[in-house]
Amino acid sequence: MMHIRLKFTKGNEVKYISHLDLMRVFQRALRRTGIPISYSSGFNPHMEISFGAPLSLGVTSNAEYVDLKLAEPMDVREIQRRLNDSLPDGIRILDGIEIRENHKSAMSVVSHSRYRIRIFMENVSSDELTKKIEEFAAQKEIKIMKEQPKKGFELKEIDIKPLLVSMKLIESKEDTYTIDCLLLSGSRGNLKPGLLIKAFKEFTGYDIQSIRINREQVYGLKNGKLLDLLEYESAEA
């Protein structure tokens, strides 16, 4: 047996593929490539594969993670090569490592996600936007109405302030602005960047005409440090 963790992209070509469909894409690729993936036992065996924090539809990413359990050892670079030859455009394996048999799953260790949000709007200076972001983030509470999918999509007011770690303007070019934000993600709390921008839009009244969101990194918290999910497994406990 062998356990590996892979880091991969989800680009523009596949940003509207659901999490379930993404799983199916990987399952098909694993079958085609002959990688010796392990199957669960029981009446309905399935591939032993699990993903990190799911990505919202329409969001791209430079840092998605998947854990694989193999029935027999195989070179990680060969796995990377075979999958990259088989996966569709927009999904590319960037790196991978062998991990311990008793590792925590990628999903269970996720604590934070970093996003770059690119917005387009007219008649707003970078200085004004910087000030508005600072005022928005400095609020004691940031209330927003959120749909509850498990309750018939009824609206509920929530406070997203505890889920926002940082937010700052990092680039402005003509009428396009890029905002970097670090948000809680995972079992302790999860803030989607789309909801953050909705709250910011309500706070400012800005006419934001388009939004592009990219997940730059996913982190786990270990010994007081934020580590990407490959570093997390290689760091000492």
Which CATH number do you get for residue 141? 3.30.70.3190
Q: For residue 152, what pLDDT band results from cuts at 50, 70 and 90?
A: low
Boundary-marking domain end, from 58, 85, 103: 103
87 in the same domain as 128? no
Arithmetic mean of pLDDT, 164-192: 94
Domain membership of residue 235 (yes or no) is no
Per-residue model confidence as pLDDT tens digits over 106-129: 899 999 999 999 999 998 999 999
From the CB of residue 122, how many other CB atoms can be counted at a distance below 10 Å?
9
Q: Which has the higher per-residue pLDDT, 237 or 163? A: 163
Question: What is the chain's length?
Answer: 237
Considering the domain architecture, whether residues 52 and 118 belong to the same structural domain is answered as no
User: Over 60: is that where the pLDDT of 237 sits?
Assistant: no
Task: Give the model's pLDDT for residue 104.
Answer: 87
* Single pTM value for the model: 0.92
Does residue 232 lie in a domain region? Answer: no
- The residue range of the domain holding 95 is 2-103
Show which of 103, 120, 152 is a domain's final residue: 103
CA atoms of 32 and 62, how far apart (whole Å): 24
Q: Give the pLDDT confidence score for residue 102 in this predicted structure.
A: 85
- Check whether residue 62 and residue 155 sit in a common domain: no
- Where among 66, 87, 103 does a domain terminate? 103
CATH number of the domain where residue 35 is located = 3.30.70.580
Domain identity same for 72 and 132: no
- On average, the pLDDT of the chain sits at 93
- Number of domains into which the chain is organized: 2
Tell me what pLDDT residue 25 has.
Answer: 97
**Per-residue confidence band for 72, with pLDDT thresholds at 50, 70 and 90:** very high
**83 with 134, same domain?**
no
- Grade residue 229 by pLDDT with cuts at 50, 70 and 90: very high
Residues 91 and 157 reside in one and the same domain: no
| pLDDT at residue 151, as a whole number | 67
The confidence score (pLDDT) of residue 188 equals 83
- Residue 235: the pLDDT is 66
Q: Are 39 and 122 members of one domain?
A: no
Task: Let me know whether 36 and 88 are in one domain.
Answer: yes
Q: Are 57 and 149 contained in the same domain?
A: no
212 domain-assigned: yes
Q: Is the pLDDT of residue 153 over 70?
A: no
pLDDT at 147: 77
Whether 237 is covered by a domain: the verdict is: no
Cα maximum dimension of the chain:
62
Q: Does residue 191 share a domain with residue 124?
A: yes
Whole-angstrom Cα distance, residue 64 to residue 217? 8
- Asked if the structure places residue 6 within a domain, the reply is yes
Residue 43 CA to residue 169 CA, distance in Å, equals 53
| Contact between 55 and 215 (Cβ < 8 Å) | yes
